[in-house]
Structure 1
Amino acid sequence: MIGFSLGFFVVISTHMSEIGQELFQASNHKDNLTSIAISQSLNKAASCGDTSGTKIAYLTSLLEVTVCNPVEGELPITVSVEVEPNFVAVGPYHVAVGMNNRAWFYALTENGVERLKDMEYLGTVASMCLNSDYAAALFEGKVQLHMIESEPQDSQEERETRLFPSTDEKYRILSHALTGDFLIYGTNTGLVKYFYLEDWQYVNEYRHPVSVKKIYPDASGTRLIIIDEKTEGFVYCPQNDNLYEIPNFSPTIKGILWENWPMDKGVFCAFDDDKVFTYVFHKDTIQDAWNVCTSLNTEEAWNELARACLHHMEVEFAVRVYRTIGNVGMVMSLEQIKGIEDHNLLAGHLAMFTNDFNLAQDLYLASSSPICALEVRRDLQHWDSALQLAKRLAPNQIPFISKEYAIQLEFTGDYVNALAHYEKGMTGDSMHQEHDETCVAGVARMSIRMGDIRRGVNQALKHPSRLLKKDCGAILESMKQFSEAAQLYEKGQYYDKAASVYIRCKNWAKVGELLPNVSSPKIHLQYAKAKEADGKYKEAALAYENARDWDNVIRIYLDHLNNPEKAVGIVKETQSLEGAKMVARFFLRLGDYGSAIQFLVLSKCNNEAFQLAQQHNQMEIYADVIGSENTSNEDYQSIALYFEGEKKHFQAGKFFLHCGQHARALKHFLKCSTTEENAAIEKAIETVGQAKDEMLTNQLIDYLMGESDGMPKDAKYLFRLYMALKQYREAARTAIIIAREEQSAGNYRNAHDVLFSMYMELKMQKIKIPAEMATNLMILHSYILVKIHVKRGDHMKGARMLIRVANTISKFPSHIVPILTSTVIECHRAGLKNSAFSFAAMLMRPEYRNKIDDKYRKKIEAMVRRPDTSEVEEETTPCPFCDFRLPECELLCPGCKNNLPYCVATGRHMVKDDWCICPHCEFPALHSEFKTLLESESICPMCSERVTAAQLKKVQDCSMYLKEEQDDQ
C-alpha cells in the first residue's frame, strides 16, 4: 500500500504471478494524507488526515449563502442559490440548500462554486447533514442517506442511497447526525443507532429509557450527546455503552457544539437564547481529571476527584489531591494506610473514609484483620452490631462494649436495658477496677430509677465515688425520698445539699449537726427562723450571723437578748441601715438622745436626727457625727443656721463652709472668741483658699494684719493663707520673715522647718528659690549639724560648722555668747588654735565679756593672753562644676563663681564622684559620709525622715542635679 500526500493511496500486488499490478486505488482524503497503518489480524487499514469541522455556512441575502472557515483563515465563498432556502447544510467540500422536499447541492472547489445537482425527497425536509461523500435528509420521521456525487464506476448502486428505518422497523426518527464514518439517529422509542458507512451496516445500538429528541456527536462519533424528552442531557460512549449524565444541564438548551481542536478533546458548549455553558468530559485517565480540576480549581471538583480516587483505591493520588485542597486529616489518615498490602483491609479503610460503613464492615470481615469491623462499630456507637461482632471476634470485649451501650441507654431513658448491660459489663477482674466501679455506679443509679431503692442506696454508700452519691441523692430527691437522699448527700460530704433535704423533712437535729460544714446562707437562715420560733434566741442569733442576715441578728440582740453593745458593734462593723434604725429606736426608748442621733445618721435618716437634735439641744452631737458622704448642702445649711441662731460662730462658720457659703463662713470665723481664735483663723484660711474670691482674701488679710481690730496676728497665718491661695512667692517672702522671727527668738529648728517646707513647695511648683531663703536654710542647717557631730565626737566637723555659724553670728541674737563660746571650745579641741583665738578675742569685747559662763571665762582669757596661732590646714576637694580645688567647707567656687551644693550630712560642698541624694527630700549628700552618719543616726538631718543605708544609691552622673543648682542661682 502506497499513500500520496494529496489524499490518494494505491494497493499494488506483491504476488509473484501479478507482481507490480495495481489492485485498486482510493481517495479517502480530499486534501492531505499523513499516515497509514495496517492490522493484519483485523484485515483493516487505518488512515488519518484532514478534518472539516470548522466551516460555517450562513445566508447573507435571500438568494446568497456565504461559506467561511475562520479557524483555518480561508477566504469566504459566496454561493448564489435559486430559491430562498428553508434549510442550509455544509460539509467539508459541499454546501446544500433546500426548500420543502427539494435540495440543491453545490461543490466548493479551488476554482470556485460548482452546482452539482438538485434532488427531491419523499417528504418535507426538516434538517440535513453532509459529510465528504454523503448527504442525510430527515423528513417525516425518516432519514434518506445518499451520495452527493454519484461515481458509478467506483461504487455499487445499493451503496448510493438508503432509507431509514426499514419497513419492518416501527419507530420514528426524531434527530440525526452524519460524521465522516457514521450515520447516527435517535428515535421516539429511545433507540440510538450507529450506521457504519464503510461496511454499509449497523454497528451499534443503544436503548434510552425515553425518546431521544436531539443528538450531537463529536467529529469522530465516539462521543454522543443525547437530549431526551425530559430535556436532560447525557454523554453516550458507543465503545462500551456507558452513559454519563451532564450535571446542571439547563432545560432551555437549544444546541450543542463540540470542540474540534485535538488538544481540547472532550470540551463542548451548550447554549440557549441567553447563555453559553462550557463542559469538559474526561472519562479516560485520572491525570486528565487532575488537569480539569486544576483548570476549574473549585472545591467541589477536587472533592469529586478525591472520592473517585478512593473508589478506585488510588491512595497515592488521593493523598496528592487532599494535600492540594488542604485536608490535613485525610492526608494523615491515608498516609497511615497506604502501605497496607491486604486488598480487603485497605478497601475497608477507604470505604470507612467514604462513610460506607456496611461495606467497610464486609470488607474488614473478609480481610486478615476482621477485628477492625468491631472497632468501626464501636467508634460509630452501633452497640448492637458491636456486641454481635464481639461474640464472634473478641468475647473479652463484651463487658466493655456493654458498659458503653448501657451509658447510651441510660442517656436515652431506657433504664431496664441499661441496668441489664451494666450488670453484663462487670468483669470481676482487679485489673479493670475502674471499669467495674463505673458499672456498679450504673447499677446503683438504675436500681433506684427502677424502684429497687434499698439495693441502689446500699451500692451507692459502699461506692468510693462522691459524685455517685450526689447523682443518686438527686434521683432520690426527685422521687421525694428525702431521708435516703439526705443520707447519701451527707455521706458524699455535700453538706449544703444534705442540710437542705433534712430541712424539707423537718429533721432539725441533723441540720444542727451539719451546720458547721454548711456554707449556704439560705440554709443558715432557715435554721435560724426555726430556732427563733422555738425560743432559742442565742442559737438563732448565731445562725442569723452565719447567714449574714445582720438585721435579724441586731433585732435578736436588742429585742430578745437585751445586748445593745453587741448590736451596736455589729451595726458599726456592717454599716447596716435597717440595723442602725433599730438601734436608734432602742436608744430613743432609753432616752439616750446622743446615741439615738448617732445611729439615725448612720441609717441615713438625717432629717429625723436633725429634728431630734433640735428638740433635745443635741446639735453638737449631730454636727460631730454627720459625715460628708450622702449629706446634702441643705443638711449642712440647717446645722449652720441653728448654730448661727445660737451665736456659736465657729460651728456656724464650719457648716457654712461645708455647704459652700464662703462669705458667711468667713464672717463667723472672724467673729470667734479669743479661745477659738487659732482654730477659727485656720478654718478662715481654708475658706478663702476654697473660695478663690479676692474680696474675701483682702478681708482676711486685713484681719491678719490687724487693720480691723488693731491687733496683728501671728505671721504664720499669713504664710498659711498664701499657701492655701497657692501664691508661693508671697508665701516664700512670708516664710523668710517667720523664719527670721523664729531664729531671733532662738527657735532654730522651727525656723529650719519653715524654710525647708517652703523650699520643697517652691521646688515642687518649679519656682526659683530666693537666694536669701537658700542662704538662711544653709546657715540654720549648719547649726543643726553642729549638735549631731559634737554628739558623735567628730570635733573637726563640729568646729567647721560652728565657724560658718559664728561668721554670721548676727543672725543668732539670742545666743551670741553661747555660740561663740562653743566655737572657741570646739576649735581648740579640733586643733584650730588660730580660729579659737579669733573668736575668743571677739568674746573679750565689753558687750560679751560679762556674759561668758564662769567655768569657761578663765580658759578663754588665758587663750587671748597667750595666743597660739597654729592651725590645721583644711583639706581641699574639687569643685563639682569646674574641678577647681578649694577647701571642703567652702561653698563659693573662686574658679567658676558658682554657689556649690552642700552635703546635708556634713555641710561640706559636694563632689561628683561621691554623690547621692536623700530618698525623701532629694537633697544631696556625700555618699560615704551619709552612710557613716547613718551608723549612729536613723534620720535625714534635713527632712527628719527615716533613712537606711540600703536606701542610699550612689549617683553615677550628677549633671542633672548640677543643672538644677545652676538654674536656681
Structure 2
Amino acid sequence: MSYEKELFRLEQPHGDGELYFAWQKGNGIYLATVGSDFTVGVFNRQGKLHERVRLPGQCTGFGWDSDGDLLGMICDGSFNIVLWDANTGKKHNVDTGLRDQLTVIAWARSEPLVAVGSARGNMAIYNHRTSKRVPVLGKHNKRIVTAAWGLTNMLALGSEDRTVSLSNIDGDTLKTFQVNSDPSALQFAQVASDRSTPDTTLSLIVGKRMLLIYNLQEPDDPIKLAFEPMYGNIVAYEWNTDGYILVGFSAGYLVCISTNPRELGQELFQIKNHHIRLSYLAICTVLSKVATCGDNNVKIHELKNLSDVTAVITLSDESGVDRVGWSEDGQLVCVATNTGSAVVYVSRLARLYASHGNIVAILTSLSHLTVFLVKDKTIPAVHISTEVEPSLLAVGPYHLVVGMNNRTWIYDLNGDATTPSGEPMQSLSSSPQLLGDREYMANLTGICLNAEYTAASFAGKLHLHLTESGTGRKSAGITEEKEMRVFPDSGETMNITCHAITTDFLVYASDLGDIRLFGLEDWKLIREYKHPVPIKSVFPDLVATRVIVVDTKMEGYLYSPVHNTMTLISDFPSTTTGVLWDQHPADRNIFVTFDASTVVTFVHVRDSIDGPKIQKIGETKLPLDQIPLILQRGVVTLQTPGGKLANITLSTHSNSTSISSQNDTMKATLEKHIALNRFSSTRFTEAWNSCLLLNKKEDWVRLAEAALMNLDLETGLRVYRHIGDAGMSISIENIIKVENKKLVAGHVAELLGDFDKAQALYLDSTDPVQALVMRQNLLQWDQALQLARNLAPEQVPYTSLEYANQLELMGQYAEALIHYERAVIDNPRQIPELADHNDRCRSGVARTSLRVGDYRRGMSIAGDSASPLHLKLQCAEIMESVKKLNEAAILYDEAGDKNRAAAAYIGLKNWKKVGTLLNNVTDLKIFRQYAKAKESEGDFAAAVQAYNEAHDVENVVRLLIDKLNQPQKAMAFVEQTRNIEAARRLGQFFEKIGDYSSALKYLVMSRSENEALRLCKEHGLVELYASIVTEEIGGSEEGERQLSSLAVYFEQQGNPMLAAKCYYHAAQFNKALRNLLQVAKGNPDNQEAVVLAIEVVGAANDDIMANQLIELLVGDLDGEPRDAKYVFKLYRARKQYREAAKT
C-alpha cells in the first residue's frame, strides 16, 4: 500500500482557517467540507466540486445519514436543518421548531433520523422518512455540546450543565446522570464482555483529562480512566471492534486501553507518535488500521499489531495537520491542514488488473490505468485516464475495456496495426483513443476479449459481440450474423458462471456443470461436456485445446476439448484464485495455480506410458500482496501493491544457490529439466548439456528413461546410442516406427520393466498379442496361458507345456501333470515339430506321474525303449528320491549311468549286481563300498582289489599285512604311493616283528618323528636314522629341521663327524665345517673329513670358509700339510679352474 502519491488537493476551499470534512456514508462518492465561509462544499472522488451549498450563517455542524443519501447541516442565524439530497442534488430546509442557536447535529446509525441540540439545552428529532418532527424543550439547562446515537436508536446528549441524558426517538428522557466536568465525544460502544447486547455501554471525555465508561444498566458506578499527566489532554478516542479503546493525547501519545474485566483500564500499548502534538485519530475497520495526525504528518498503524507502522504521510509544505478521516470503503484517506486545505490520498486501491498475451493493464489510481507491454526490452508504459472509477477491466490484443455497473468504455491500444492476430504485441499506442461506450441490460460480472470480439457476462447470461462497431479491424469473413450472440440459447435454464475467450474459441460454463466450446469461425457450438458440479472458473490455454476447470468444490480439472474428457488434477490447491499458462511455445505444457501466498507449478504431459497426466512439480512463495499476471519461460510477472510490475522466477525453473557442490547443482538442474519435460523439441539441448557436464552414465540413463516415459523415442534412442547401450538402442529402433501410441507405450513400459502396465497397454492397443509374447519372454507362463486362451488359442498347448515345466520346477506336480496332459497335440501326419512337442509332454507326464505316486504309469513311459535316455535318467532320480531303488537301478542301468545304478544296487545290498557293473564303474566310492562289503564277507583278496580300484592305499596295506600276511606287496604299495598313513602302519608292523631298520625307514617316510627318534635311541640306530632322513626327506624343510636336531645330538654325544654330515644335509655349512675341522685337525690320515669339508665349502661358496679349509690343507692350522690334490679338488669344487690349473 502506498500513501506517497496524493489523489487530489483542495487548496483552502473555504479560505484560510480551520477545515472540517465528512466522507459520504455507503459508497463514499462525495467528500463534504466546511470552513470559515458560509458554504458547504461537496467534492467527488476526483477532487472536482460537485455542489456548493450556501448557508445563511457560519456552519456549526454537519454530517451524512447512515445511507449517504442526505447531508445534514446547521448554522448560525438559522433554526432550520438544511438537507442536501445526494441523489437529486436538491436542498431542503427543515424547521426544527426551536428558536435558539443550533449547536450540534447527529444522524441515527440505521435510519434517516437526525437530532439537533441548541445553545439553551433544547433538542429536536426529525424523521426524514415520515417527515415527523419532535421538538423537546428543556432537555438540558445549558448548551448541548455532544450527541451520539446507539444501535437501538437511543440518543445520548451531553451538555455544559455537566449532565448526560438518554432519550428515545420520541424525545422521552430515559436516563440522566451527572458528570463532574464538561462532557465531550459521546460514543456508544460494546466492551469485550457484552458483545451480544447493543447500547449497554456509553463512553465520553470529561474535562479533557478523564475517560468515563458507563454501563447503562448500572450508570451510578462508571469506570473512570485517568491517564498520566505527561500524556496531556485527551484529543480523541475510538473504540476498536475487539473491545479496546485507542486514545490520542495532545502531547503526541497514542495509548491502547483494555475493557476486558480481567485487565480493565490496563494500558496494552503506548507510543509517542508525534513529536509536538497529536491532533486527531481515526480508525478504519475495513482495513483494520488506525491513523493519527499531528505536527505535519500522519502515521498509520495496524490494529492487530499497533507497533507495526505501515505508512507515514508527511506534508512537508504544511506547518501542521488538524484532522484525518477514512472513506467508508477504506480506499481514501483525507487529511485537513491547519491552513484550511485538504489532501486526499489513496489508501487502498481496488486490485483491478487484466492481461492478454504480453499486455498487462493495471488500475493505478481511482480512474487511472497503466498499460504495460512485457518484453525482453524496456517499453514505456501507457497511461489512460478513464471516464469513471472502473470496477471491471479487460484487455485484448488491440483493445482495452473498462466497465462500471452496466456500461463499458472501449479504448484502442494498437500501436502496430500490422501485428498478426494471436502474436505478441510489438508496441502500444502512445495515446490510446476512446472508441466509444456500450450499455448492457444488467450490471456486468465479467469481461474478456480477443482481437475481434468482446464477451461480457451479466445476470447469468453471456453477450458475445464485435468489440468495435462498423468496419474497423473487423475481418472480411465476419458476416452480419456473426456480429452478436447471447448465451445461453432461449429455452435453456442455465446461469453462466464464468467464461474466457481465445483467438478462435469462446469457452463458458454454467451453474449446472455445463462446459461449452463455441467456435468463432464456424459460429456454432463445437464441444459440450457435462460436469456433475457447478463450475466456478475456466482458464484455457492459448488455443483452447486445454482448459483448466475449477468447480464450486474448489477441485481442479483439465478439460480436453479434443477428446472431450476431464482429468482430475491431484494436489490442486483448494485456495486457488487463478491459473496461468506459460506463453512460451516450448513451455506451453506448463501451468501454475496461485493464491495469496503461493504459486504451484504443474506440467501437463500429453503422451506418456501412463497416458495424459498432470504432475505437480513444485511450489514458489509469492512476495507479500503481489498478484501473478503473466507466465513466460518460468518467469512470473507480478502486480505490486504500488501498481508496478515485478518478476520472480519459479523455484522449478531457477538454479538453486544453496546446493553445496557444482555436481549437485547440475544434478538438480537436470531433474528440473526432466520434471518440466524439457528433453524434447527445442528444449532437448538443456537436459543434454546438463548430462554432458555431469558425464555419468546414471544421469544419461535417467534422461533416457524420462524421455521414454513420455514416449519421446528419438531422445531415448539418441541417449542410448551416446552411452553405447546397443541392446536398448536396437530395442527402440524396432519400435520407433510403430504408429499406435498404446502399442508404443506398451513396448516402452516393457523396456522399463513395468510389465503389468505394459500388459494393460498392449491389451488396449492394436496388437494385444504382444502382451502374450511379453509374458512368454518373461517365462511367466501362468499369465501367458490366461492371455493365450483369449488372444491366441493356437498357442495354448505350447504355453501349457511351458507352464507345466514351470509348475514342475516349483514342486506343484499334480497341476503340472494336468497341464502336460492338456498340452498334447493330435499329430496324425507325424509332423516333426509336433512330434518333438508331444515327446516333451510325454516326458513331463512320466516325471509328474512318478512325483504324484502313479509309479506304474511313470515307469511304463520311462521304461519304454523309445523313451530318451535323459528321461530314463530323470525318472531314475525321482525313483531314487522316493527310495524305489530297484526301479531306480534299472533305469540308471538303461540310461547308461553305471555308477548310479551300482549305487542303487548297493543300497539294496545286491552285491552280485554290483559286481557285474564294476567293469563300467568309475566312481571310487562304489569301489570302496564294494570293498567294505567283500571285507565283511571275508573275501580279503577281492576287498584288496576293490580298495586298490578305489585308490584306498591305507586299507590295501592294512589288509595285506593284517589279513593276507603279504608285507612285501604292502611295501611295494607304500613305495609306489608314498602314502603317509600306510607308511606309518607298515612301520608299526615292522617294529612289532623286530625289523627295526625297516620300521625306522617307514616311520621316517610317514613323518612320525617322535616314534622314529624313540626307536633309534632305544636300539642304537641314530646313524641309520640320520641316513634315512637324509635319503627320504633331505632337502625339505622338515628334513632340515630333523637333521639339525640330530646334529645337535651327535655334537652332544661327541661325534663331530656325524654332526658335520647332518649339518651339511641340513644346509648349515658353517657348523658342518666347524665340526669337520675339529675332526681333521691333528689327524692328517682322516681323508673322509677333508673330502667332506671340500664338498661343504663348495656347496657354501663362501670365501671365509674356503680360507679356513686352505689353512688346514697347507698345515697352517695344525702343522700337518695335506696332499696338494685336496687343494686342487677345493678349487674345482668352487669352480676356480684357473687356480686349479696352477696347483
Q: Give the counterpart of 2:396 among 91, 95, 99.
A: 91
Deviations 1:506-528 (A, max 9, x none): 21221222222222222222222
Aligned-pair CA distance for 1:619: 0.9
- Specify the SS of the correspondent of 2:381: strand
Deviations 1:462-497 (A, max 9, x none): 324222221221222233222222122122221111
The AA in structure 1 aligned to 2:1112 is: Y
- Specify the SS of the correspondent of 1:562: coil
Aligned to 2:876: 473
- Specify the SS of the correspondent of 1:548: coil
Report if aligned partners of 1:409, 1:417 keep a CA contact under 8 Å in 2.
Answer: no
**Partner Cα separation in structure 1 for residue 882 and residue 446 of structure 2:** 86
CA 1:235–1:595: 2 relative to 1, 3 Å: same
The AA in structure 2 aligned to 1:581 is: R
Aligned to 1:511: 914
Q: Give the counterpart of 1:636 among 1027, 1043, 1051.
A: 1043
Aligned to 2:1059: 652
Aligned-pair CA distance for 1:638: 3.0
Aligned-pair CA distance for 1:613: 0.8
CA 1:175–1:557: 2 relative to 1, 3 Å: farther
Are 1:205 and 2:528 counterparts?
Answer: yes
Matches within 5 A, 1:121-200: 128-131=447-450, 136=455, 173-179=496-502, 183-194=506-517
Report if aligned partners of 1:419, 1:447 keep a CA contact under 8 Å in 2.
Answer: no
Matches within 5 A, 1:390-429: 413=813, 414=815, 417=818, 420-421=821-822, 425=826, 427=828, 429=830
**Partner Cα separation in structure 2 for residue 329 and residue 157 of structure 1:** 59
Matches within 5 A, 1:114-125: none
Aligned to 2:930: 527
- Specify the SS of the correspondent of 2:372: strand
Report if aligned partners of 1:378, 1:386 keep a CA contact under 8 Å in 2.
Answer: no
Aligned to 2:1024: 621
**Partner Cα separation in structure 2 for residue 105 and residue 505 of structure 1:** 111
Report if aligned partners of 1:266, 1:282 keep a CA contact under 8 Å in 2.
Answer: no
CA 1:612–1:336: 2 relative to 1, 3 Å: same
**Partner Cα separation in structure 2 for residue 390 and residue 114 of structure 1:** 74
Higher strand share: 2
Higher helix share: 1
Over the matched positions of the two proteins, sequence identity in percent amounts to: 36
Report if aligned partners of 2:1026, 2:1046 keep a CA contact under 8 Å in 1.
Answer: yes
Report if aligned partners of 2:781, 2:800 keep a CA contact under 8 Å in 1.
Answer: no
Q: Give the counterpart of 1:553 among 956, 976, 983.
A: 956
Report if aligned partners of 1:106, 1:115 keep a CA contact under 8 Å in 2.
Answer: yes
Report if aligned partners of 1:123, 1:140 keep a CA contact under 8 Å in 2.
Answer: yes
TM-score (norm 2): 0.46
Are 1:702 and 2:1111 counterparts?
Answer: yes
- Specify the SS of the correspondent of 2:863: helix
**Partner Cα separation in structure 2 for residue 454 and residue 200 of structure 1:** 85
The AA in structure 2 aligned to 1:571 is: V
- Specify the SS of the correspondent of 1:561: coil
Aligned to 2:591: 270
**Partner Cα separation in structure 2 for residue 662 and residue 470 of structure 1:** 66
Deviations 1:851-898 (A, max 9, x none): xxxxxxxxxxxxxxxxxxxxxxxxxxxxxxxxxxxxxxxxxxxxxxxx
The AA in structure 2 aligned to 1:556 is: L
Are 1:574 and 2:893 counterparts?
Answer: no
Aligned to 1:734: 1139
- Specify the SS of the correspondent of 2:382: strand
**Partner Cα separation in structure 2 for residue 304 and residue 326 of structure 1:** 16
The AA in structure 2 aligned to 1:216 is: F
The AA in structure 2 aligned to 1:190 is: G
- Specify the SS of the correspondent of 1:473: helix
Aligned-pair CA distance for 1:586: 0.7
The AA in structure 2 aligned to 1:640 is: A
The AA in structure 2 aligned to 1:457 is: M
Report if aligned partners of 1:415, 1:450 keep a CA contact under 8 Å in 2.
Answer: no
Aligned-pair CA distance for 1:734: 0.7
Deviations 1:203-243 (A, max 9, x none): 75332455545423355657645456685553533xx6644
**Partner Cα separation in structure 2 for residue 162 and residue 682 of structure 1:** 136
- Specify the SS of the correspondent of 2:1063: helix
**Partner Cα separation in structure 2 for residue 128 and residue 598 of structure 1:** 120
Aligned to 2:1090: 681
Are 1:494 and 2:494 counterparts?
Answer: no
- Specify the SS of the correspondent of 1:670: helix
The AA in structure 1 aligned to 2:1047 is: A
5+ unaligned residues in a row in structure 2: which ranges?
1-354, 415-428, 609-677, 685-703, 715-724, 741-757, 771-778
5+ unaligned residues in a row in structure 1: which ranges?
1-50, 284-290, 309-322, 339-350, 364-376, 739-969
The AA in structure 1 aligned to 2:360 is: I
**Partner Cα separation in structure 2 for residue 148 and residue 336 of structure 1:** 48
Report if aligned partners of 2:581, 2:592 keep a CA contact under 8 Å in 1.
Answer: no
Are 1:236 and 2:550 counterparts?
Answer: no
Are 1:216 and 2:539 counterparts?
Answer: yes
Aligned to 2:650: none
Aligned to 1:457: 859
Report if aligned partners of 2:411, 2:436 keep a CA contact under 8 Å in 1.
Answer: yes
The AA in structure 1 aligned to 2:874 is: D
Deviations 1:576-618 (A, max 9, x none): 2222221111111111111111111112121221121112110
**Partner Cα separation in structure 2 for residue 678 and residue 139 of structure 1:** 141
The AA in structure 1 aligned to 2:382 is: I
**Partner Cα separation in structure 2 for residue 514 and residue 171 of structure 1:** 99
Aligned-pair CA distance for 1:176: 1.9
Aligned to 1:845: none
Aligned-pair CA distance for 1:355: 3.8
The AA in structure 2 aligned to 1:66 is: T
**Partner Cα separation in structure 2 for residue 255 and residue 142 of structure 1:** 22
TM-score (norm 1): 0.53
Aligned-pair CA distance for 1:672: 3.8
Bigger shift: residues 482-491 or 715-724: 715-724
The AA in structure 1 aligned to 2:513 is: G
What number of residue pairs does the alignment pair up?
A: 631
Report if aligned partners of 1:307, 1:354 keep a CA contact under 8 Å in 2.
Answer: no
**Partner Cα separation in structure 2 for residue 509 and residue 459 of structure 1:** 28
- Specify the SS of the correspondent of 2:913: helix
- Specify the SS of the correspondent of 1:631: helix
Deviations 1:637-680 (A, max 9, x none): 33113333454433211223455654442232124467995553
- Specify the SS of the correspondent of 2:1020: coil
- Specify the SS of the correspondent of 1:462: coil
Report if aligned partners of 2:927, 2:947 keep a CA contact under 8 Å in 1.
Answer: yes
Aligned to 2:1075: 668
Aligned-pair CA distance for 1:684: 2.6
| RMSD, matched Cα | 5.8
**Partner Cα separation in structure 2 for residue 224 and residue 704 of structure 1:** 119
Report if aligned partners of 2:445, 2:458 keep a CA contact under 8 Å in 1.
Answer: yes
Aligned to 2:372: 68
CA 1:602–1:417: 2 relative to 1, 3 Å: same
Q: Give the counterpart of 1:79 among 384, 391, 400.
A: 384
Aligned-pair CA distance for 1:147: 7.9
Deviations 1:682-720 (A, max 9, x none): 543454467677654432221122222444445565466
The AA in structure 1 aligned to 2:1051 is: E
**Partner Cα separation in structure 1 for residue 413 and residue 836 of structure 2:** 93
**Partner Cα separation in structure 1 for residue 899 and residue 817 of structure 2:** 32
The AA in structure 2 aligned to 1:592 is: D
**Partner Cα separation in structure 2 for residue 77 and residue 334 of structure 1:** 52
Matches within 5 A, 1:258-407: 267=588, 269-272=590-593, 273=598, 294-295=681-682, 328=730, 355-356=762-763
Aligned to 2:942: 539
